[in-house]
Structures are given as structure tokens and as C-alpha cells.
Amino acid sequence: MKSKEELSKIASQNAKKLWSSISKEEKAKLLNATILNPDIRNASKEARSAGLKKKWAETTVEERAIRVANAKAGVQKAKGKKSDSMKKYWASKSPEERQAHYKKTIGTKASKAKVAKSVKQIWDDYTPEQRKARLNNSSHSEKARLGRVANWEKLSPDEKSNWIKVHLRRRHWKMTGIEKTVSIYLDKYFPDEWKYNGCRNHNVVINGKIPDFVNVNGKKAVVEVLGKYWHKLSEVEPLKRHYLKYGFNCVIIWEDECNEVDLRRILGGQG
């Protein structure tokens, strides 16, 4: 008497043989009549959902807890295997192959535009409370920031410089809308005194920090333009102290201050 696993394996092998024996036209016809048919797919989905709900309702609290724990363990194990596999695959590629892969996938204009549109839509749909919670999540927390700072300090000057070069080259950063507003204002009222450096245009990197604008008229001063989605108010003072440590005065401009009135108030004494 064969076990359930053995019977399942035999059935799978037979199905593979049958599938490989039919033509492409027959395969397409079969798929369109079954899993690619919207009505059949939805009916199958509903049947599976109903079956799972029924099975779940028949289990005890203890059984549910065990199943959830096993499922979580399985997910973590699968993630670990996938991560190790990807690391090996990526390590086998040359820098040129990695760059080519990036350009064909997330580095394309269409991909970037799709991500930007998706992020904007999500942000627009948030309530004020949800936006506040999003800004205060782990990736924006003070603990996370301090962790990034600690990791950065472990790098040598050459490693920091190399990281910045690679990072900027991969991102293909361009001046943002709010940075353009500030740039136009500076060019209008302080010609030849401030230059945009957000894409490392003037190669000014102050111990890992790349200021958006730098004074090129003899003053050690920088301007940082911050968007509220990516930055928190708690970042301002540490950022100013960082630049001051190296003798630079730092002016902070938030995205909602990128207008003629506020820029005149903030930058009127600069330059």
C-alpha cells in the first residue's frame, strides 16, 4: 500500500508527462478554458476560501495557535533560503552585470515613474493620523537614525566616499520640485553665491552628509531642503550640529516653506 506522499508524487509525475506531450495550441486552449477563465478562477477562489474558513472554524484555539506558529516559522525559513540564494546569485555577478540588471529592472524610467505614482497615491489616501503614524514608524524613528549613524561611523573615509559615489550613481538623482523653487529664489536674490549640490554636483560631502545647496562665495554655509514624508522635526537639530561640528552654518527649509514669503523670511539674512 503506497503512502499519500508517494501517490501524490506519482500523480505529479504523470501530470508533467501529460503536459509535455501536448502541443502549445492545446496547452493554450486548456489554460483558457480553466485557470485563465475569470469565472472558473473566481469560483475556484471562492471554493478554496469557503473550505479554509470551514476548516478553521472546526479547529480549537490551541490548534490555531500551533498552525499560526508553524506558518510563521515556515515563512521565515523560506525567506532565509531565498535570501541566501539571492546573495550567492548576486555575488557571482560582476559590477557590470549588476548595473545592467539594475537598468533593466528598477532602474528604468517606467519603473521609477510607477513607484513614484504608487507612493504618491498611498500618501494622498492617508488621513492626517495615518501620515503621522507613517512618519513615526521604525524606518523614521530616532533609534533607526542612530543605528544608521553608528554603522556609518564604522566605515573608513574611502568606504564612505565609495558608498556615496555608487549610491548616487545608482539613484540617478535629480533636483526635486521644492529644490527647484529654492534654487530659483537663490539665483534671483543671491546670484553666484549658492550652488545646487544635492546630486553631488560640486563634490561637497561633509562627513557623509550631502547638503542640497552650498555657499560658493567664501562662507561656510549650507541649505537643506526637507520634505515631510521622508524627514522628521527631530532630525533638524542633529543635522545642524553635524554641520556645525565642521564649521558650517546650516539653514533648514521645509517643503511647506518653499514660497516667496517664507523663503524671504528664512534666507533674507543669508548670502
End-to-end CA distance of the chain: 89
CA distances to 34, 37, 45, 75, 89 from 48, in Å: 16, 16, 5, 21, 36
How much is the average pLDDT of 78-94?
81
Residue spans per domain, the chain: 4-79, 108-169, 172-267
Which pLDDT band holds residue 271 (cuts at 50, 70, 90)? very low
Contact 109, 174 (CB under 8 A): no
Orientation angle between helical segments 177-189 and 260-267, nearest 10 degrees: 60
Considering the chain, what percentage of its residues have pLDDT values greater than 90?
23
| Contacts of residue 242, Cβ cutoff 8 Å, sequence gap at least 6 | 206, 207, 209
Considering the chain, what percentage of its residues have pLDDT values greater than 70?
90
How much is the average pLDDT of 135-148?
67
Which pLDDT band holds residue 266 (cuts at 50, 70, 90)? very high
The answer as to CATH 3.40.1190.20 being correct for domain 172-267 is no
Amino acid identity of residue 229, one-letter, is: Y
Tens of pLDDT, residues 214-244: 999 989 999 999 998 888 888 899 999 999 9
pLDDT at 138: 52
